Amino acid sequence: MKSRWLVLLALVCLAGTSLFAQDLGGAWQGTLSAQGNQLRVVFRVTKAADGKLVGQGFSIDQGGQPIPMSAISVEGRTVKWKLDPLSASYEGTFSPDGNAINGTLTQAMPVPLNLVRATPQTAWAIPEPTPPPKPMDLAANPGIEVATVKPSSAETRGRLYTMRGDRMTAINVSVMNLITFAYDLHEQQVSGGQNWMSADKFEIVIKPDTSGQPNINQMKLLLRKVLEERFQLKTHTEKRELTVYAMTLPPNTQHKLTASAAIAGNLPSLLFPRPGLLPARNATMTELSQSLQSAVLDRPVVNRTGIEGRFDFTLDWMPDETQFASFGPPQQQQPDNGKPSIYEAFQQQLGLKLERAKAPADVMVIDKLERPSEN
């Protein structure tokens, strides 16, 4: 009799595993607490013709753009999937009745996210995706219709350049940040000026006088005009030999970059969810070099790869003490996470090489700079 019960128990366990695997199909929804905000998220999972599970995620309070799910798996009561465009992953456990999943969403750091199965009566409506904004004419040289410059709040952390509707916003930036971003320079390529140009932080909102969303180069033109008009910036350029980092493609090798499927005209995404993680989307090699020199490395970065086009890729490494200095001193020493150095990550993850070299470089010498005029 005992052996019969063991056989029955084994059959029940096998049936339960099969049930849970089939039961993941459908819509799952829950609320994510992120930086004080409550964000409703939905995941829709179906089974493809080849039997594999496929799905999409939606953050419906952030526009509802679909985010592809990958590596969806069910093992017993454990559910896992990835959200590659966000460099995020989810892992959870089915409730006994199979109608809830208690788990964690990890993107740089883990955050609890519990999901319930949605029914036609309880399902949250997913908004229609906002159509992409009309790009500004590529030949346009936009001027400024309105610009506001004000000190950043002391509580503001990080640094960001973004578009909000028809306005460009620079958040928590110093004049040094503005100069290096707008003129594609490293701090070592800027000479002169006063201490406040690095210490004081500002929030800047610009409404261009030209319709359409500016591309990255037009955004930089707008910031140059703010520097000239509101900070009275005047400069001249000198050529000096500097130590730089050179990005190259080793001879007779193939890079590991994925051609971007982004719609033509979309802005590139080169944001750091945490120091040492760069999930880049729709980016050129020159934009990568500019991002590294403005945010990460202690020297200018020169793109010598010869690679044209826009790509999606993720660079994940263990930063050393010389990196991310422009963001200020670290809050705490990062523990060794077993990830490669940035030089190793370049080779392993991108198929590229990053090394030091000597090169002549333009240096901007500041002749005049004033605190910003009142709005």
The pLDDT assigned to 337 comes to: 67
pLDDT of residue 344: 96
Q: In degrees, to the nearest 5, what angle opens at C-alpha 270 toward C-alphas 196 and 283?
A: 130
CA proximity to 316, closest of 276, 344, 353: 276
CB 121 within 8 A of CB 130: no
Instruction: Give 38's contacts (C-beta < 8 A, 6+ positions apart).
Output: 31, 32, 61
Residue 81 and residue 90: Cα distance in Å, rounded? 5
Three-state DSSP class for residue 12: helix
DSSP designation for 81: E
Burial (CB count within 10 angstroms: exposed 0-12, middle 13-18, buried 19+), residue 204: buried
16-117 folds as Lipocalin (2.40.128)
C-alpha 102/C-alpha 93 separation (Å) is 5
- pLDDT the model gives residue 310: 93
pLDDT tens digits for the chain (375 residues)? 444 433 333 333 333 333 444 489 999 999 998 666 788 999 999 998 888 999 999 998 877 788 899 999 999 999 999 998 777 899 999 999 999 999 999 876 788 999 999 999 999 999 887 777 788 998 999 999 999 999 988 777 778 888 877 889 999 999 999 999 999 999 999 999 889 999 999 999 999 999 998 988 899 999 999 999 999 999 999 999 999 999 999 999 999 999 987 665 667 888 887 889 898 989 999 999 999 998 899 999 999 999 999 999 999 999 988 888 766 555 445 566 689 999 999 999 999 999 999 988 899 999 999 998 766
Distance of alpha carbon 30 from alpha carbon 366, whole angstroms: 52
Distance between CA atoms of residues 73 and 79, nearest Å: 6
Interaxial angle between packed helices 175-182 and 216-230, expressed in degrees from 0 to 180 and rounded to the nearest 10: 140
Question: 2: part of which helix (H) or strand (E)?
Answer: helix 2-23
Q: Are 235 and 365 in contact (CB under 8 A)?
A: yes
Q: What is the pTM assigned to this prediction?
A: 0.62
Q: Return the domain boundaries, the chain.
A: 16-117, 144-368
- Tokens matching residue 135: 């790009």
Q: 3-state class of 75 per DSSP?
A: strand
